[in-house]
Amino acid sequence: MAKTKKEKLALKDKYVKDVKKAKAIIIVKPSKLTPNEANDFRMNIFDFDANFNIVKNTIFKLALAEAQYPEVKELENGEHAALFLSEDIVNPSKSLKKFIDATTSKDGSTKIEIVSGIMDGVLLTKEQVSELADMPDFNGSISMILGILDNAMSGVVNVLEDPTRSFATILDQAFKE
C-alpha cells in the first residue's frame, strides 16, 4: 500500500533520528528472509542496543543526506535493511555474521548479504564491515591491553632485579672459590 506524504515524512524523520543516534550502520540486502528469521535476529541483537529494520531506499537515502552522511549508491535497486549499532559495534556485527552463516543454504546462496556500512560518517566497503565481526569485543580488548601491560611490567621488574641478581651471583661465586 502506498504511503501518504505525511507518512513518508514521519518515516524519514524516524530514519534521521536512528541514523544520528547510531555509531555505525550496516546496510544489508535480504533475499527471501522470513519475518520469523528477521525477528529472531532482532532478539539476538536486542541486548546490544542495536536495531534491524527493512528500509525504504529513497526515503533512507534522503535521511542519510539530511544527517549529512555519505550517499550509499547500493541503495538504488532492490530491498535493503539497515542494522543501526549504538555503543557496542562488535557484538552485533558478530551476531550478523552468525546470522548470515545460519541462513546460508547448502548450495551457497544466502538470505542476507552485507552491502555497505557507515561508521563515524565514513562509508565502509563490505569487506571493512565484515572485519568488524573479527575484532575483539570490549572485554577481549581489555584483556589484550592488560596482557600487554603485564608483559611490560614483567620486563621492568626483570631489569630492576638484574643488578641485584648479578651482585648476588658474583658474591656466590666469590665464596665458592
Tens-digit pLDDT profile for residues 67-110: 888 888 888 888 899 999 888 888 888 888 888 888 877 777 78
Tell me which residues of the chain have a pLDDT lower than 70.
1-2, 136-141, 155-162, 165-167, 170, 177
Domain 5-135 has CATH 3.40.630.30: no
Taking each helix axis from N to C end, the angle separating 5-21 and 57-66, rounded to the nearest 10 degrees, works out to 50
Query: What's the pLDDT at 132?
Result: 76
**Spatial separation of the C-alpha atoms in residues 14 and 84, rounded to whole Å:** 12
Cell of 56: 525504504
- What is the pLDDT, as a whole number, of residue 14? 92
Domain boundaries, the chain: 5-135, 136-177
How far CA 17 is from CA of 22, 58, 74, 137, 139, in Å, comes to 9, 16, 21, 26, 29
pTM over 0.75: no
pLDDT of residue 89: 83
Q: How far apart are the C-alpha atoms of 135 and 91, rounded to whole Å?
A: 9
For residue 136, the model assigns a pLDDT of 65
Q: Which amino acid is at 92?
A: P
- Give 105's DSSP letter: -
Q: Which three cell numbers stand for residue 100?
A: 548470515
